[in-house]
Structure 1
Amino acid sequence: MAFSNPSREQIKQLLEDTATIAVVGLSDNRDRVSYMVSEAMKKKGYRIIPVNPNATEILDETCYASLSDIPFPIDLVNVFRRSEYTPEVAEEAVKIGAKALWLQLGVYSDEAASIAEEGGLTVVMDRCIKVEDSILLPQGKQA
Protein backbone atom coordinates (compact mmCIF):
# COMPACT_ATOMS: atom_id res chain seq x y z
CA MET A 1 0.00 0.00 0.00
CA ALA A 2 1.32 3.46 -0.87
CA PHE A 3 2.34 5.80 1.94
CA SER A 4 0.15 8.72 2.82
CA ASN A 5 0.82 11.36 5.43
CA PRO A 6 -1.45 11.66 8.46
CA SER A 7 -4.42 14.00 8.16
CA ARG A 8 -3.99 17.66 9.05
CA GLU A 9 -5.89 17.04 12.30
CA GLN A 10 -3.56 14.15 13.18
CA ILE A 11 -0.49 16.28 12.41
CA LYS A 12 -1.90 19.05 14.60
CA GLN A 13 -2.37 16.59 17.45
CA LEU A 14 1.16 15.25 16.92
CA LEU A 15 2.60 18.76 17.19
CA GLU A 16 0.50 19.54 20.27
CA ASP A 17 1.77 16.35 21.93
CA THR A 18 5.42 17.06 21.07
CA ALA A 19 7.76 18.82 23.45
CA THR A 20 11.22 17.53 22.50
CA ILE A 21 12.43 17.28 18.91
CA ALA A 22 15.73 15.67 17.95
CA VAL A 23 16.91 17.19 14.67
CA VAL A 24 19.13 14.84 12.68
CA GLY A 25 21.36 16.82 10.34
CA LEU A 26 20.95 20.14 12.18
CA SER A 27 23.68 22.45 10.91
CA ASP A 28 25.44 25.04 13.05
CA ASN A 29 25.47 27.32 9.97
CA ARG A 30 22.78 29.97 10.47
CA ASP A 31 22.23 30.18 6.69
CA ARG A 32 21.14 26.54 6.39
CA VAL A 33 17.46 25.66 6.29
CA SER A 34 17.90 23.13 9.10
CA TYR A 35 19.15 25.89 11.39
CA MET A 36 16.43 28.36 10.43
CA VAL A 37 13.61 25.84 10.83
CA SER A 38 14.97 24.56 14.15
CA GLU A 39 15.49 28.07 15.50
CA ALA A 40 11.89 28.96 14.61
CA MET A 41 10.58 25.80 16.28
CA LYS A 42 12.60 26.57 19.40
CA LYS A 43 11.06 30.05 19.51
CA LYS A 44 7.62 28.40 19.33
CA GLY A 45 8.39 26.49 22.52
CA TYR A 46 9.77 23.15 21.40
CA ARG A 47 13.03 21.86 22.87
CA ILE A 48 15.40 21.24 19.97
CA ILE A 49 18.09 18.59 20.41
CA PRO A 50 20.78 18.73 17.70
CA VAL A 51 22.09 15.49 16.23
CA ASN A 52 25.31 16.36 14.43
CA PRO A 53 28.59 14.51 15.02
CA ASN A 54 30.60 17.52 13.77
CA ALA A 55 29.40 20.11 16.30
CA THR A 56 29.38 20.42 20.09
CA GLU A 57 26.52 22.89 20.60
CA ILE A 58 23.77 24.37 18.41
CA LEU A 59 20.92 26.66 19.54
CA ASP A 60 22.26 26.53 23.12
CA GLU A 61 21.81 22.75 23.30
CA THR A 62 24.45 20.04 23.45
CA CYS A 63 24.93 18.20 20.15
CA TYR A 64 24.83 14.44 20.07
CA ALA A 65 26.57 12.28 17.49
CA SER A 66 23.55 10.00 17.11
CA LEU A 67 20.02 9.56 18.39
CA SER A 68 21.23 6.69 20.60
CA ASP A 69 23.57 9.06 22.43
CA ILE A 70 20.73 11.27 23.71
CA PRO A 71 20.25 10.42 27.42
CA PHE A 72 16.58 11.41 27.71
CA PRO A 73 13.30 10.72 25.87
CA ILE A 74 12.61 12.25 22.47
CA ASP A 75 9.09 12.82 21.21
CA LEU A 76 9.78 13.45 17.54
CA VAL A 77 12.77 12.91 15.25
CA ASN A 78 12.99 15.54 12.50
CA VAL A 79 15.33 14.61 9.64
CA PHE A 80 17.37 16.96 7.46
CA ARG A 81 19.35 14.25 5.66
CA ARG A 82 19.13 12.93 2.13
CA SER A 83 16.48 10.29 1.59
CA GLU A 84 18.96 7.43 1.21
CA TYR A 85 20.16 7.94 4.81
CA THR A 86 16.72 7.87 6.39
CA PRO A 87 16.20 4.10 6.87
CA GLU A 88 19.04 3.97 9.40
CA VAL A 89 17.63 7.08 11.12
CA ALA A 90 14.22 5.37 11.26
CA GLU A 91 15.79 2.29 12.86
CA GLU A 92 17.46 4.45 15.48
CA ALA A 93 14.25 6.42 16.12
CA VAL A 94 12.42 3.15 16.80
CA LYS A 95 15.28 1.97 19.04
CA ILE A 96 15.15 5.08 21.25
CA GLY A 97 11.36 4.94 21.57
CA ALA A 98 10.51 8.17 19.73
CA LYS A 99 6.83 8.70 19.00
CA ALA A 100 7.23 10.12 15.50
CA LEU A 101 9.57 10.38 12.51
CA TRP A 102 9.33 13.53 10.40
CA LEU A 103 11.20 13.72 7.08
CA GLN A 104 11.57 17.32 5.96
CA LEU A 105 10.39 18.80 2.67
CA GLY A 106 12.07 16.97 -0.22
CA VAL A 107 12.95 13.93 1.91
CA TYR A 108 10.99 10.74 1.19
CA SER A 109 11.68 7.06 1.82
CA ASP A 110 9.16 4.24 1.72
CA GLU A 111 11.72 2.03 3.47
CA ALA A 112 12.18 4.50 6.34
CA ALA A 113 8.40 4.92 6.63
CA SER A 114 7.89 1.14 6.83
CA ILE A 115 10.59 0.75 9.49
CA ALA A 116 9.15 3.56 11.59
CA GLU A 117 5.50 2.52 11.20
CA GLU A 118 6.32 -1.10 12.06
CA GLY A 119 8.05 0.28 15.17
CA GLY A 120 4.89 2.12 16.17
CA LEU A 121 5.92 5.63 15.13
CA THR A 122 3.76 8.18 13.37
CA VAL A 123 5.44 9.15 10.09
CA VAL A 124 5.32 12.42 8.18
CA MET A 125 7.32 12.78 4.98
CA ASP A 126 8.11 15.52 2.48
CA ARG A 127 6.64 18.25 4.66
CA CYS A 128 8.24 21.17 6.48
CA ILE A 129 7.56 20.98 10.21
CA LYS A 130 7.86 24.77 10.56
CA VAL A 131 5.24 25.37 7.86
CA GLU A 132 2.86 22.79 9.32
CA ASP A 133 3.30 24.20 12.82
CA SER A 134 2.68 27.76 11.58
CA ILE A 135 -0.53 26.72 9.80
CA LEU A 136 -1.91 24.33 12.42
CA LEU A 137 -0.78 26.09 15.62
CA PRO A 138 -0.53 29.76 14.64
CA GLN A 139 -0.91 30.95 18.25
CA GLY A 140 1.58 28.40 19.52
CA LYS A 141 0.99 25.29 21.54
CA GLN A 142 -1.84 25.31 24.06
CA ALA A 143 -0.74 24.82 27.64
Structure 2
Amino acid sequence: MECEFPTINADSDEIRDIFATVKTIAVVGLSPDPSKDSHRVAKYLQEAGYKIVPVYPKEEEILGEKVYRSLKEIPGKIDMVDIFRKPAAVGPIVEACIERGDVDVVWLQAGIVNNEAARKARDAGMKVVQSRCAMVDHRNLA
Protein backbone atom coordinates (compact mmCIF):
# COMPACT_ATOMS: atom_id res chain seq x y z
CA MET A 1 0.00 0.00 0.00
CA GLU A 2 3.00 2.32 0.44
CA CYS A 3 3.71 4.73 -2.42
CA GLU A 4 0.57 3.85 -4.33
CA PHE A 5 0.03 5.77 -7.56
CA PRO A 6 -3.47 7.27 -7.87
CA THR A 7 -5.46 5.34 -10.48
CA ILE A 8 -8.64 7.33 -9.73
CA ASN A 9 -8.41 11.11 -9.80
CA ALA A 10 -10.38 14.17 -10.86
CA ASP A 11 -9.06 16.22 -13.79
CA SER A 12 -8.63 20.01 -13.69
CA ASP A 13 -12.14 20.66 -15.06
CA GLU A 14 -13.66 18.50 -12.32
CA ILE A 15 -11.49 20.23 -9.71
CA ARG A 16 -12.65 23.65 -10.98
CA ASP A 17 -16.25 22.39 -10.71
CA ILE A 18 -15.62 21.10 -7.18
CA PHE A 19 -14.43 24.50 -5.96
CA ALA A 20 -17.35 26.24 -7.70
CA THR A 21 -19.99 24.03 -6.08
CA VAL A 22 -18.81 23.02 -2.59
CA LYS A 23 -19.63 25.23 0.37
CA THR A 24 -18.93 23.13 3.46
CA ILE A 25 -15.66 21.23 3.86
CA ALA A 26 -15.02 18.81 6.72
CA VAL A 27 -11.26 18.62 7.33
CA VAL A 28 -10.34 15.26 8.86
CA GLY A 29 -7.09 15.55 10.80
CA LEU A 30 -7.23 19.36 11.12
CA SER A 31 -4.44 20.18 13.55
CA PRO A 32 -4.73 23.13 15.95
CA ASP A 33 -1.00 23.79 15.24
CA PRO A 34 -0.70 26.74 12.78
CA SER A 35 2.60 25.33 11.44
CA LYS A 36 0.93 22.11 10.20
CA ASP A 37 -0.24 21.75 6.57
CA SER A 38 -3.78 20.78 7.62
CA HIS A 39 -4.13 24.04 9.57
CA ARG A 40 -2.66 26.22 6.81
CA VAL A 41 -4.81 24.64 4.09
CA ALA A 42 -8.02 24.84 6.17
CA LYS A 43 -7.31 28.48 7.10
CA TYR A 44 -6.73 29.32 3.42
CA LEU A 45 -9.99 27.61 2.37
CA GLN A 46 -11.86 29.35 5.21
CA GLU A 47 -10.48 32.73 4.09
CA ALA A 48 -11.51 31.86 0.52
CA GLY A 49 -15.13 31.65 1.75
CA TYR A 50 -15.69 27.97 2.51
CA LYS A 51 -17.28 26.79 5.77
CA ILE A 52 -14.68 24.62 7.52
CA VAL A 53 -15.72 21.83 9.91
CA PRO A 54 -12.75 20.46 11.89
CA VAL A 55 -12.61 16.72 12.65
CA TYR A 56 -9.92 16.04 15.25
CA PRO A 57 -9.59 13.77 18.33
CA LYS A 58 -9.09 16.64 20.77
CA GLU A 59 -9.65 20.42 21.10
CA GLU A 60 -13.04 22.11 21.33
CA GLU A 61 -12.43 24.76 18.68
CA ILE A 62 -10.02 25.19 15.75
CA LEU A 63 -10.06 28.23 13.44
CA GLY A 64 -13.06 29.51 15.40
CA GLU A 65 -15.14 26.44 14.48
CA LYS A 66 -16.54 23.70 16.74
CA VAL A 67 -14.44 20.53 16.51
CA TYR A 68 -16.12 17.15 15.93
CA ARG A 69 -14.61 13.77 16.79
CA SER A 70 -16.04 12.03 13.72
CA LEU A 71 -17.88 12.69 10.47
CA LYS A 72 -20.98 11.00 11.95
CA GLU A 73 -21.34 13.74 14.60
CA ILE A 74 -21.47 16.64 12.14
CA PRO A 75 -24.98 18.06 11.67
CA GLY A 76 -26.06 19.36 8.26
CA LYS A 77 -24.72 18.76 4.77
CA ILE A 78 -21.01 18.16 4.11
CA ASP A 79 -20.09 18.87 0.50
CA MET A 80 -16.44 17.80 0.68
CA VAL A 81 -14.26 15.82 3.06
CA ASP A 82 -10.59 16.87 2.94
CA ILE A 83 -8.43 14.12 4.46
CA PHE A 84 -5.11 14.72 6.23
CA ARG A 85 -4.54 11.17 7.50
CA LYS A 86 -2.28 8.26 6.54
CA PRO A 87 -3.48 6.14 3.57
CA ALA A 88 -4.40 3.24 5.91
CA ALA A 89 -6.90 5.51 7.75
CA VAL A 90 -8.70 6.55 4.54
CA GLY A 91 -10.88 3.41 4.17
CA PRO A 92 -12.91 3.95 7.36
CA ILE A 93 -13.23 7.68 6.57
CA VAL A 94 -14.66 6.88 3.13
CA GLU A 95 -17.03 4.34 4.76
CA ALA A 96 -18.24 7.16 7.06
CA CYS A 97 -18.76 9.41 3.99
CA ILE A 98 -20.82 6.67 2.31
CA GLU A 99 -22.88 6.16 5.51
CA ARG A 100 -23.61 9.91 5.69
CA GLY A 101 -24.91 9.85 2.12
CA ASP A 102 -24.47 13.61 1.65
CA VAL A 103 -20.77 13.92 0.78
CA ASP A 104 -20.10 14.92 -2.85
CA VAL A 105 -16.29 14.98 -2.83
CA VAL A 106 -13.54 13.03 -1.08
CA TRP A 107 -10.20 14.87 -1.28
CA LEU A 108 -6.97 13.16 -0.22
CA GLN A 109 -4.24 15.71 0.39
CA ALA A 110 -0.83 15.68 -1.33
CA GLY A 111 1.01 12.42 -0.72
CA ILE A 112 -2.12 10.49 0.33
CA VAL A 113 -3.33 7.73 -1.98
CA ASN A 114 -5.70 4.84 -1.31
CA ASN A 115 -7.07 3.50 -4.60
CA GLU A 116 -9.33 0.92 -2.96
CA ALA A 117 -11.06 3.59 -0.83
CA ALA A 118 -11.13 5.96 -3.82
CA ARG A 119 -12.89 3.32 -5.92
CA LYS A 120 -15.48 2.77 -3.17
CA ALA A 121 -16.11 6.53 -2.94
CA ARG A 122 -16.45 6.87 -6.72
CA ASP A 123 -18.75 3.83 -6.92
CA ALA A 124 -20.92 5.52 -4.25
CA GLY A 125 -21.23 8.57 -6.52
CA MET A 126 -18.58 10.85 -5.05
CA LYS A 127 -15.92 12.77 -6.93
CA VAL A 128 -12.44 11.76 -5.81
CA VAL A 129 -9.19 13.72 -5.73
CA GLN A 130 -6.02 11.96 -4.56
CA SER A 131 -2.55 13.23 -3.68
CA ARG A 132 -3.29 16.90 -4.42
CA CYS A 133 -3.29 19.98 -2.23
CA ALA A 134 -6.67 21.75 -2.09
CA MET A 135 -4.96 25.08 -1.34
CA VAL A 136 -2.53 24.82 -4.27
CA ASP A 137 -5.27 23.73 -6.68
CA HIS A 138 -7.65 26.47 -5.51
CA ARG A 139 -4.93 29.12 -5.88
CA ASN A 140 -3.99 27.87 -9.35
CA LEU A 141 -7.62 28.01 -10.50
CA ALA A 142 -8.45 31.37 -8.89
Same fold (TM over 0.5): yes
1:114 shift after superposition: 1.4
**Amino acid paired to 2:113:** Y
Aligned runs of 1:47-126 on 2, under 5 Å? 47-96=51-100, 97-126=102-131
Q: Could you tell me how far 1:4 is from its partner in structure 2?
A: 3.4
Q: In 1, Cα distance between the equivalents of 2:70 and 2:33?
A: 19
Residue by residue, what CA displacement relative to the aligned partner does 1:41-82 show, whole Å, maximum 9, x if unpaired? 100001110001211110110000000000111000000000
Q: TM-score, normalised by structure 1?
A: 0.92
Letter in 2 for 1:30: P
> Which of residues 4, 10, 13 in structure 1 aligns to 2:14?
10
Q: Once superposed, what is the RMSD of the aligned Cα atoms? A: 1.0
Question: What stretches of structure 1 move > 4 A for 4+ residues in a row?
Answer: none
Q: Which has the higher contact order (CA 8 A, sep 6+)?
A: 2
> Separation in 2 of the partners of 1:117 and 1:6?
10
- Percent identity, aligned pairs only, is 35
Q: Which runs of 5+ in 2 are unaligned?
A: 1-5
